[in-house]
A = this chain, B = another copy of it.
């Protein structure tokens, strides 16, 4: 399992901030320019641009500048990559829990035959 993965590092880090999660949540509905994305937040543009940079460097979003407006769009690959790591852990957990349940059952049967 690739626990030591730079892309997971940056993706999880990017998602650890409510502002950035909100941006992702907005972008799943489609691309948007920086100003529109920044509108709902109290902070200044420089701070907001830093968040966008973090998202872009994590590969969660891609941006393109046409004229003077920069358009941001979601890059769903990274989202599914992190989702897959999580679901894999849960799958392992479930398998392990099943093993545990099976073991407990075995023990109970042995108790019966005592």
Contact = CB atoms under 8 A, between A and B. Distances in A.
A46 interface: no
Contact of A90 (B9, B30, B76, B100): B76
A4 interface: yes
A80 B7 CA distance: 21
A34 interface: no
Contacts of A93: 28, 74, 76, 79
A1 to B, nearest CB: 6
Contacts of A8: 15, 18, 21
Contacts of A13: 12-13, 16
B1 A18 contact: no
Contacts of A76: 90, 93
Contacts of A86: 79, 82-83, 86
Interface in A1-60: 1, 3-5, 8-10, 12-13, 15-18, 21-22, 24-25, 28-30
A106 interface: no
Contacts of A18: 3-5, 8-9
